[in-house]
Structure 1
Amino acid sequence: MAQGDSATADVRAVIIVGAGPCGLAVAARLCEGMPAANFTDEEHQRYHWIRKNRHQASVKNYRNGNETRRANHGFKQPDFLVLDATADRWMAKWDRLFKTFDISHLRSPMFFHIDPAERDGLLGYTYSHERERELTEIRGCVGKEVSKYQRKKRIKSGRQPKNEPTVDERDRQDYFVPSTPLFASHCGCLVDRYSLRSNMIRNETVLDVSYDYVGELSENIKLFTIKTNKATYYAKTAVLALGGNPPSLPKPAVSDAAAAITHAMQIKEMPCPRVRAKINSKKPTSIVIVGGGLTSAQLSDLAVRRGVGKVYLLMRGPLKVKPFDVGLEWVGKFRNFEQAAFWTADDHEERWGKILAARNGGSITPPYKKILDKHIAKGKVELLLYTTIAEKTCDAANGAWKVSVSTASSSSSLPSSSPAGIQSESASQDQITRDLPPIDHIYLATGVSCTLDGVPCLQTLRRDYPIASCGGLPCITEDMAWRDDVPLYITGRLAALQLGPGGGNLIGARTGAERVSWAVQDFLRSEDKEDGSPGSRARADRFDYLTGRCSRFEALSCCDSDE
């Protein structure tokens, strides 16, 4: 509840900031009393952050694949509230971007989803609703494996075995991508299953987060005070489930030029009204799209399909084609080996290096590569690799851009530290410069950063409870907490130093939700024990007794004290 009389203001158990995939994953996991296994039995034995939660997590046997499901001992859904700056419903920004870009299918495979109850929840939902036709196979992933006999034959012949990830043919059913409507329906199913459609989401922007004692509300424990543009809320714990930082655009020299350059995350209509008007008037149109990721390819295809005459697609590096935005070794059957190497890294710098190596910049999928090739063959798209914008000026009279681009004569001469699509002043040698025809609009599909500095609502918390950072990401604890003494839990892209390269993907959303829910439930149980009310202590003691967390002789001592 919002702040009214401080003596009567409600204190929530959990406040989740963000109603996207990561926020929905956390909310669903907090409501699920019997979650499916995310980790194997060997991982439970090896990593203490999983091992200490062995009583509240399901375990998957490494050898036979059998799951030992956790028991539901009086599970109680915590009282939580969700704050989102986009809308008062789940997945609002996700749905808007997918609709704007006209994305028909996800990039993630079928086992990347946010259902906490079943590992194959999305696949089961698809078949139970007879929607198999909405699946598209990810070609080039399955059927490439090398048998043990072939490996031994290569070794005996003196040839070095290729160090390629192996995907078993039996896992073919997982290597399909769901359609956008199918995934949206599955998310809606989760919302209905856990009764998350009630008035628990507030369309409010979080302005400040602090953690301290709050007058008459908390004499013995600290609370989070979360101030938004509309109200103030209090909570025992908080979860930060944010996406990337707001995009930053280069300031145009002419004020009227602001409407002629747009970041992909801020697109409301594609193409923009001015370009659409020229298309309707049968006038020639041309746009520039900057970026080397999948979004740039999607925007190029969408622009051509909607009548744009010419698209100049600029990439500051090579065109990289791969099924996923991370390597197959992080997605396939043996991804646990890469995760193990990541979790056992010596320091955060080593983890940050593994993240950069795994993601390796933007890439497009093989299907979109074929689409681009068709547009290039027809002359609708011109792909300019190793190219940056050297100079751009906007004509205030007609709103068109005069753009000069600089193409490196070789990849080695391209500065790696230059911003996406913009040439640095020091990089002028070995460059070939050319002027493009008048450009009607510039789109920047250069992605968004994800750093602590880009989250202004955390400035107070950073001042009162400072923590280290690496690569702009917070060095949070293995329990996903800000610090051991601050129960602010982080998931999503900001938690990549704990979740790995897939922290911002659906697999990171599910894994992060699992680990965050463990920590939240542990913290709330410890708060119940410290609470003076008999009911709270009884619930906590009963849970500890049933799960074997403490000595069972404590129950006898409690009985003696009661007598």
Structure 2
Amino acid sequence: MAIQPSPTPPTDDIIDVLIIGAGPCGLAVASRLREETPSAIFTDEEHQRYHWIKRHTGRMALVQAHNRKNNSVRAEKYAPVSSSSSSSSSSSSSSAAGKPPQDESCPQPKPAGEKHESSSTCPNILVLDSTAPAWMEKWNRSFCTLQIPHLRSPMFFHVDPGDRDGMLAYARETCREEELWVINGCVGREVSKHKRKKMEKMRSKTCQIAIDERDRKDYFSPSTALFADYCASIVSRYGLDVSDQIIAQEVKDIKYACLPGSVHTGEPVFTVTTNKQFFHARAVVLAIGPGNTKNLPWPISPVESDGMCHSLDIRTFPSANVRQKIKARQETNVVVVGGGLSSAHVVDMAVRAGVSKVWYFTRGELKVKHFDIGLTWMGKFRNYEKAVFWSADSDDERLEMIKTARNGGSITPRMHKILKGHVSANRLAIHTHTTIASKQFDPSSHTWTLTTNPPAIQDFPADKIDYIYLATGVNSNAAELPLLRSMNADHPITIKQGLPCVTEDLMWKEDVPLFITGRMAALQLGPGAANLEGARVGAERVAWAMEGVLGRKGEGDEQGEENGVSRVDFCGLGNRFAGLDASSKRV
């Protein structure tokens, strides 16, 4: 067995923020840390209800609409008015010009297409990813491998911290509205044929079409290519495309302790060990999604790997032996095990590739719905479900709500219609409540002999199965992730059914700035934690808490006053005009 090279020794260089994972969650955090005036993630009612935001009173960037290039909605950074006369005059002049006072401590937001300038006061960020030294590489590769033409999420779910409707604006600005797929029967109503023809006629004349606010009520899903290009524009806008910012290394361990024999012995820091070297960081963000442990109904031996694989391990499709049989016009049979959207795409790929018959086994019912969680959790007006979730008395109660909301894997109505077409053509057989009871692989013929439960499947060629695809998802268990072994031993926390009980700021502990985002933060973010919305909301919480971790937290008194702004006034509680002193009015 080859001996792995030992990691290079650690240095005294300490990174401000080390992000593990260059997928949507990692990109959401990195871009949010570069954005001083994020779009409104939470409504006024949510600000009033959830006390975790109170600790940051006076630090939230207020959004002020501005007319910008390409009619995009941006915002300027909010700076509190100083009590000094000089500051008052400066503030008054800025107000007279219609702009708030400027603060040069961090890059100001810029229109789409323009980059943020780097600043020494913003945290330096390093990203580690096991796939490639590039943003969204694993995400894009997975969508390409499974030939998924469009996302399942609606348009307002993305990782851009600057504009909630940024993807819609990007599609309009780049004249790519045709890549928006209408989610029929969800909300709103479809555009009539007459109106569609009129819109196409207008589009042929010019691409600068004003966005009708009524269109925002309709739900669309972007194409895979459009979403990839939009993420690339976010990377460019926030200056996250610098060389050596993303390193392709796999993290093996994370430790948090003081460094003996270092110039930084006074403060505990993270030591992140990869397969090649060590890194030190003040804060670490774990943005790996569900993790890398695949759900497999049984272990796959090296011999069996020639005739079976997990959907995440697909490199070429179909397999070599199936491709040869298709080319020779021989009968081919493929089994797909699963019940989610990935399994449906694998089925469709196999039929379109020329497989004679695909046998689709699902452990339960084949559930059909637009999103992987209920529409009440996915809509723009989902505050009620979130309020109930965040008001839960215990994590056990939240777990039950997560299970109810997700309710296992599901496929979209669009894919269900495609599958029904394959069934009608006798190219597909769907068997619900069916599992594989036993299996035997013949390496010489590259075929399987299977028995099923229940056993009576009409026309099933039990001894002539050419390949098995296991689209059975990925396991999310913080107690079993190898890179969290030291954290679980040195700084143990409660883990319920694989989900860590992190703080409201998504920190491992109050005094341990290891932030968890994505699916493993579901006990704080809710059932949508694994979606793009969870990535953006999680990044918002991380960014707020990061100011305190890196020593940039404002000093406020214990009565809720900070920078002269009352917590009650800031959160919109009570009568905000009650804070006005009549005796101090200027006449």
Distance 1:96 1:117 in 2: 26
Distance 1:390 1:69 in 2: 62
Q: Is 1:58–1:68's contact at 8 Å kept on the other side of the alignment?
A: no
Q: 1:355 aligns with which of 382, 399, 402?
A: 402
Q: Compute the displacement of 1:432 (Å).
A: 4.6
Corresponding residue for residue 235 of structure 2: 191
- Provide, for residues 486-545 of structure 1, a one-character-per-residue CA deviation record: whole Å limited to 9, x for no partner: 00011001101011001011000000000011111221126999xxxxxxxxxxxxxx98
Corresponding residue for residue 311 of structure 1: 358
Corresponding residue for residue 202 of structure 2: none
Question: For residue 172 of structure 2, what is the amino acid of its counterpart?
Answer: Y
Determine if the alignment matches structure 1 residue 107 to structure 2 residue 114. no
Question: For residue 340 of structure 1, what is the amino acid of its counterpart?
Answer: A
Q: 1:502 aligns with which of 498, 507, 528?
A: 528
Q: 1:264 aligns with which of 290, 300, 311?
A: 311
Q: How do 1:477-488 and structure 2 match up within 5 A?
A: 477-488=503-514
Q: Is 2:336–2:469's contact at 8 Å kept on the other side of the alignment?
A: yes
Distance 1:357 1:248 in 2: 20
Moved over 3 A (4+): 2-6, 58-61, 66-70, 169-174, 248-255, 431-437, 526-529, 544-550
Q: 1:396 aligns with which of 437, 443, 456?
A: 443
TM-score, normalisation: structure 1 = 0.81
Corresponding residue for residue 195 of structure 2: none
Corresponding residue for residue 284 of structure 2: 238
- Provide, for residues 137-193 of structure 1, a one-character-per-residue CA deviation record: whole Å limited to 9, x for no partner: 00111248xxxxxxxxxxxxxxxxxxxxxxxx9465550000011000100000000
Question: For residue 436 of structure 2, what is the amino acid of its counterpart?
Answer: I
Q: Compute the displacement of 1:55 (Å).
A: 2.6
Count residues with an aligned counterpart.
485
Give identity over the alignment, percent: 47
Unaligned stretches of 5+ residues in structure 2: 1-5, 65-72, 80-102, 107-120, 190-212, 556-560, 568-587
Distance 2:346 2:259 in 1: 49
TM-score, normalisation: structure 2 = 0.78
Corresponding residue for residue 252 of structure 2: 207
- Provide, for residues 461-509 of structure 1, a one-character-per-residue CA deviation record: whole Å limited to 9, x for no partner: 1111000011210000011100011000110011010110010110000
Corresponding residue for residue 184 of structure 2: 139
Distance 1:254 1:520 in 2: 44
Corresponding residue for residue 93 of structure 1: 138
Distance 1:440 1:549 in 2: 69
Question: For residue 471 of structure 2, what is the amino acid of its counterpart?
Answer: A
SS at structure 2 position matched to 1:38? coil
Q: Compute the displacement of 1:51 (Å).
A: 2.5
Structure showing greater relative contact order (alpha-carbon pairs closer than 8 Å, 6 or more residues apart): 2
Distance 2:346 2:127 in 1: 32
Q: Is 2:57–2:565's contact at 8 Å kept on the other side of the alignment?
A: no
Q: Compute the displacement of 1:549 (Å).
A: 9.2
Q: Is 1:38–1:511's contact at 8 Å kept on the other side of the alignment?
A: yes
Q: How do 1:212-231 and structure 2 match up within 5 A?
A: 212-215=257-260, 216-231=262-277
Corresponding residue for residue 151 of structure 1: none
Q: Is 2:16–2:550's contact at 8 Å kept on the other side of the alignment?
A: yes
Corresponding residue for residue 461 of structure 2: 436
Unaligned stretches of 5+ residues in structure 1: 145-168, 408-430, 530-543, 551-563
SS at structure 2 position matched to 1:136? strand
Determine if the alignment matches structure 1 residue 129 to structure 2 residue 129. no
Q: 2:546 aligns with which of 520, 526, 536?
A: 520
SS at structure 2 position matched to 1:454? coil
Distance 2:295 2:39 in 1: 40
- Cα–Cα, structure 1 residues 67 and 89, in superposed 2: closer, same or farther, change >3 Å? closer
Q: 1:180 aligns with which of 220, 224, 239?
A: 224
SS at structure 1 position matched to 2:334? strand
Q: Compute the displacement of 1:301 (Å).
A: 0.6
Distance 2:362 2:344 in 1: 11
Q: Is 2:449–2:465's contact at 8 Å kept on the other side of the alignment?
A: yes
Determine if the alignment matches structure 1 residue 43 to structure 2 residue 37. no
Corresponding residue for residue 455 of structure 1: 481
SS at structure 2 position matched to 1:217? coil
SS at structure 1 position matched to 2:348? helix
Distance 2:529 2:166 in 1: 20
Corresponding residue for residue 370 of structure 1: 417
Distance 2:76 2:300 in 1: 61
- Cα–Cα, structure 1 residues 389 and 508, in superposed 2: closer, same or farther, change >3 Å? same
Between Structure 1 and Structure 2, the one with more helix by share is: 1
Q: What is the aligned-residue RMSD (CA, Å)?
A: 2.7
SS at structure 1 position matched to 2:144? helix
